Structure 1
């Protein structure tokens, strides 16, 4: 099965047409753009991530390398970079196993006062929860649980904004609940005050530490900001993370590298993260990062590939995790209005001739949770 090379490449001519001549930032990545994992069942995935966790389904499309399978996107109301968790629906592949060379945990940011709400909500929905626990000298509390396919998730509540972003700048009097509150999906089933705000971080399990750390700090411009040597956990923050357009500062800026030399190597499959994507502000920034990955890190990134909602460059970091550099534009609203996001099947232009066959013969229909589930109980929407 092809994993990332089949979609159309972006030529230099295309980049000029799409306004890619804006000046590169000169800095590193802006933080996490999206994380893509693998699920066995589309409906069960939607029920959990939208119905239970309250993320908005912002795009229901197909895998651009395999149009016979769904690619599901979840995020905040607008599907901003830094909030996007996506899934390839591959029911027939093997079950993944946790280990080194993988993103082993995906963590979302929540306000500190929301921990009790989430423990109760998850348990009422039949989810086994561990915690609350603390990390980094009580700088954050978190709970851990698994999704229906076995992928490890965390909801993390920093004690303050500064303890999360490691910045001297104050954000609304250290009110963590203010981070990205404007963009939460207020029509979803979760009370807006408790809604998942964005990615907090991702944890990467590695057999070693130095080579991945060097890539993060020297080439991608992360900064080591905390460490727990007892756990072998090293925290890095994207120092180029900042407010850009509608994407606020302090979302998705953190990655933890967990050194686990005694753990066997993981196998990517159902319940695993397939890849993690890092934000580039535009095409020029992406090309600058690609050049540095080649010259400084001596790695072999792909050409730029058009994924319609962003442009992508892929490469494997020294520990084996598949990394992507993805542009913020064009974004999720390139083919749907904000109020229409995730309400029907969208296809890239090159697959439109297959729409009837895909909808009627190939893709199983899926039902979306009703909006305002706890208040209005609207009828379910159906796609495909």
Structure 2
């Protein structure tokens, strides 16, 4: 069975600082350095397990002059990640050794990244990553992050957003939680602000959910059309095909296929080591590289 959350995508101002945090501190692999396909001036960094498995991936668009974010009437927030059984003590010590302030609530460690994104590391009863997915770094294989567990949707009308997930996807709604699996979930939180939100450093652009294949995605697309949801587009990203829908609260939801995956344009052994472009953008490489925002 595949992970219900495919990936989450956010915005960062400082690419190197961001990469250091997610690869060195958290131990994820830098699986892809590419471009934002909707704005070729932006770099797009992908982090995940060794194979870049859907469900392990956190991505960031790099925007050097990005300002502060303002989270008001609707927004996405928090990255929930799973730890294998028995890894809590290791991660407490690791965060402390990097002088990362954290709060501990039962089996969860709560802290922030350099863009003030709140992260949750929760110890589960799940086993460690299989050896093929373990990143080759200083973090013991049996302590490495397993993958994504949760995120939060903040909306003005909680019931409308819950109905979206129930009607389109037939997902289980328990209170203000959308149950995705035995361990994974979404939390729907009401907002009372009338001010518009504004994207900035640390904003989450979207959350992506896993879809088995293109045929399944096309069926979902037709269902969404028939139900009258706000569909932004359906498009191939090369690494996967994606359907983008705005849920009633205004947040962007993506539904992404499991394949072809990140070895489409790079071998597994050297993922993330060069500036990669999926085949349909390769002919534009010179122009893209000439106009991309400089890394900072």
Same fold (TM over 0.5): yes
Quote the offset at 1:155 in angstroms. 0.5
Q: 2:108 aligns with which of 142, 151, 154?
A: 142
Aligned equivalents of 1:30, 1:109: Cα separation in 2: 12
Find out whether 1:98 has 2:71 as its counterpart.
Answer: yes
1:224-263 equivalence runs, <5 A: 224-225=173-174, 227=175, 234-238=176-180, 253-261=184-192
Aligned equivalents of 1:360, 1:101: Cα separation in 2: 35
> Counterpart of 1:244?
none
Question: Which deviates the most, 344-353 or 216-225?
Answer: 344-353
1:304-343 equivalence runs, <5 A: 304-343=234-273
> Counterpart of 2:151?
202
> Counterpart of 2:117?
151
Q: 1:305 to 1:339 in 2, by over 3 A?
A: same
Find out whether 1:219 has 2:168 as its counterpart.
Answer: yes
Quote the offset at 1:365 in angstroms. 6.2
1:262-277 equivalence runs, <5 A: 266-277=197-208
After TM superposition, what 4+ stretches of structure 1 lie above 6 angstroms from structure 2?
A: none
Find out whether 1:117 has 2:67 as its counterpart.
Answer: no
Quote the offset at 1:99 in angstroms. 4.1
Whether contact under 8 Å (2:265, 2:278) holds in the other structure is: no
1:109-147: CA deviation from partner (whole Å, max 9, x where unpaired): 00242222212212221321111x14xxxxxx2111111
Structure 1: any 5+ residue segments left out of the alignment? 1-28, 135-140, 161-175, 228-233, 240-249, 367-384
Root-mean-square deviation (CA, aligned residues, Å) is: 2.4
Aligned equivalents of 2:236, 2:10: Cα separation in 1: 20
1:157-188: CA deviation from partner (whole Å, max 9, x where unpaired): 23x4xxxxxxxxxxxxxxx134x444543302
Find out whether 1:352 has 2:294 as its counterpart.
Answer: no
Quote the offset at 1:359 in angstroms. 5.0
